[in-house]
Structure 1
Amino acid sequence: MQIECTSTKGDRLTDATCTNTTIQPQLPNVVIIATGGTIAGTGATSTTTVGYTAAKVGIDSLLNAVPEIKKVANVKGEQLFQIASQHITNDHWLKLAKRVNQLLASNDVDGIVITHGTDTLEETAYFLNLVVKSDKPVVLVGSMRPSTAISADGPLNLYNAVVVAGSKQAKGKGVLVCLNDEISSARDVSKTSTMLIETFQTPDLGYLGYIQAGVPHFYRQATRKHTTASEFDVSRLNSLPRVEILYGYANNSRVMLDAAVAAGAKGLVHAGTGNGSLFSEIEQGLIDAQKKGVEIVRSSRTGSGIVARNGEVNDDKLNFVVADNLNPQKARVLLMLALTKTNDPKTIQQAFYEY
């Protein structure tokens, strides 16, 4: 018996965008959604690890490079996008989330793996963590070296991701990120190095577990709301509110802040110095922006730690929101979704403490 892959329109996909495999009833059924990235990249030589071209290899070739996957899951592949992840947009996120929810609603799907470029992988993962409506495993995976490189990390990363997506232990743990034999929560993980294969770290709370010899080992789980417990629903959304990130630094000015407001931003995340502190000119700019209906979230550029409410700024007086320990890029994701529900800063603050 063969699995036939279909597009989101119901058309049968060609071998360039889909891989068929014989069903083995004792194995989990895992769908791999390919979106491009370095894991699908190619370089001029086998030693090219910088200056390669991302998003060149299709899902069929990715799976053929790891035939061992067929021993751990019945795999179906789908090429949803073919882009480098710095080009991911809100529209891509909405399309991906709707497709994931559509697939997970099927009794024939036990888990999903999403191949993705590492540059914005953590943002896509956290977005999905907030809008996926299933407790079935969803695992994002990428690589730091292109598929043509010596010691390319993509094939083993992909194998491990399929193992986790088909694992009963991964059920209910929210959206996961699997690279370098490590399993991380979508909420907690961030890319921390431009080049090292151990780039994905969870500086505040640590990994959820590891993969050893093709077996996932979990040691903890995320306690913040996610997936089936989340209030956010993208099924009827065609767009997301515009939210911009502002970076704090010495001798700052409000030029970029005012430009963002003039461009129609509905929310601003300020990546402040230290504990989310604000340069005096920036603070006044944020106050002025809020008077125009723009919601303000204080985050930190440091990369770890909790931003204390009423610590550096009188947030209660100014009606600012603090990002808890979310980094600026993830605070932006949550603020966009929160703004689809409310403009009340107190309610938005509660969301940052719950998600």
Structure 2
Amino acid sequence: MLSADRDPNRTVLVLTLGGTIAMTRTGVASGVTPTLTGSDLVAAVPGLQDAAVVTAEDFRQMPGASLAISDIVSLVDRLKRAGLGGIDGIVVTQGTDTLEETAYLTDLYYQGSTPAVFTGAMRNAATAGADGPANLLAAVQTAVSAGARGAGILVVLGDEIHAARHVRKMHTTSPGAFCSPDTGPLGHLVEGTARFHRSLNPIAPVPLPVGALPQVEIVTASLGSTGTLLEGLEGKVAGLVVAAFGAGHVPETWCARLEALAAAMPVVLASRIGSGPVLTSTYAFPGSESDLLARGLISAGALDPYKARLLLAAHLAAGTPRPEIAKAFLDRS
């Protein structure tokens, strides 16, 4: 008897958004653009129908860099409807430029029980050694696995299974570009079977917005910066994320401006490093993490600035009180 993970009668819906995985050359131009349909992607994967009964739907067809938050809100609605329709698993293909952000935003909003897995490619379909077909097969195999149910949104590339809340793109071109710096992968694909090494505690979802998300921007600290980009933000943005040095430090010249901004809107203190948490009490100089938190900034914990921005925007759209926003960062990091 086949195990549940090997049952070819399981059903998977592939939702395509475009990206490198769907890109080919269309003429004499040397560059590639997203032209492949979902049916094209599915047809190019040997053995895919041995893993599940797969159908494809062209949801968007654009580079990952052009996706908008509104596209992801619409995607979450489609995921919910697919789950209610009895699909066993869902795979989303898209560009890797924004995959870590779209997967995380989906994780904040998606409340369905049907597993949903994001994947993409670092090498386009016209390239020798294109990784799209293998990634799509691995994503489908993960989507129908028992371990994927209740695990939140997953990201699968290079036979590694990552949690959306932890994964990051760490290289511009390498097929092994995605990793989870603080935690490592949740699991791996081995001989076509998803093997999970650990589980995750579920996170409370954020209500879907009824309109556009409030504008939240990121300002990055850099050597010698005077903080000019902090000027005039009141009335222009609803929230701010500071991508600080190290464990949460900024130039001393930023302090007064950040304190004033924190009195006017939520200001989240994250690290520009990309792994490791913001500290709370190790350093005490002006512009240190303890100084900034005392001035009213909210710690991002271990969330990187990009995900911190999405979490803040989602809670602002939901009307979450400021104390609860701070608690949400502690719960999510």
The two structures have a TM-score, normalised by structure 1, of: 0.85
Take 1:26 and 1:118, find their aligned partners in 2: how far apart are those partners?
Answer: 28
2:87 corresponding residue in structure 1: 109
The two structures have a TM-score, normalised by structure 2, of: 0.90
Pairing 1:303–2:274 present? yes
Contact 2:216 2:238 in 1 (8 A): yes
Of 25, 28, 31, which aligns to 2:13?
31
Q: Structure 2 unaligned segments of length 5 or more: list them.
A: 1-6, 283-288
Contact 1:94 1:237 in 2 (8 A): no
Cα RMSD between the aligned structures? 1.9
Take 1:277 and 1:105, find their aligned partners in 2: how far apart are those partners?
Answer: 46
- How far off is 1:100 after superposition? 1.2
Pairing 1:212–2:190 present? yes
Pairing 1:266–2:250 present? no
Q: Deviations over 1:131-150 (max 9, x none)?
A: 11112211000010001110
- How far off is 1:26 after superposition? 5.6
Take 2:34 and 2:281, find their aligned partners in 1: how far apart are those partners?
Answer: 45
Of 295, 300, 317, which aligns to 1:318?
295
> Percent sequence identity over matched residues?
33
Take 2:294 and 2:232, find their aligned partners in 1: how far apart are those partners?
Answer: 25
Instruction: Within 5 Å, give how 1:184-223 maps onto structure 2.
Output: 184-223=162-201
2:229 corresponding residue in structure 1: 256
Of 211, 214, 225, which aligns to 1:241?
214
Contact 1:321 1:345 in 2 (8 A): no
Of 35, 46, 64, which aligns to 2:43?
64
Q: Deviations over 1:115-159 (max 9, x none)?
A: 011111000111111111112211000010001110100000001
State the one-letter code of the partner of 2:185: Y
- Say if 1:300 and 1:169 are closer, same or farther in 2 by CA, change over 3 A: same
1:163 corresponding residue in structure 2: 141
Contact 2:259 2:296 in 1 (8 A): no
Q: Structure 1 unaligned segments of length 5 or more: list them.
A: 1-24
Contact 2:8 2:51 in 1 (8 A): no
Take 2:25 and 2:190, find their aligned partners in 1: how far apart are those partners?
Answer: 29
State the one-letter code of the partner of 2:156: C
1:285 corresponding residue in structure 2: 257
Take 1:92 and 1:168, find their aligned partners in 2: how far apart are those partners?
Answer: 29
Q: Deviations over 1:21-55 (max 9, x none)?
A: xxxx962111110000000111489xx9xx73242
1:8 corresponding residue in structure 2: none
Instruction: Within 5 Å, give how 1:162-181 maps onto structure 2.
Output: 162-181=140-159
- How many residue pairs match? The answer is 319
State the one-letter code of the partner of 1:233: P
Q: What is the SS of the residue equivalent to 2:212?
A: coil
Contact 2:167 2:180 in 1 (8 A): yes
- Say if 1:196 and 1:309 are closer, same or farther in 2 by CA, change over 3 A: same
Contact 2:255 2:292 in 1 (8 A): no
Take 1:123 and 1:318, find their aligned partners in 2: how far apart are those partners?
Answer: 29
Q: Deviations over 1:247-267 (max 9, x none)?
A: 1111112222225445x2111
- Say if 1:118 and 1:286 are closer, same or farther in 2 by CA, change over 3 A: same
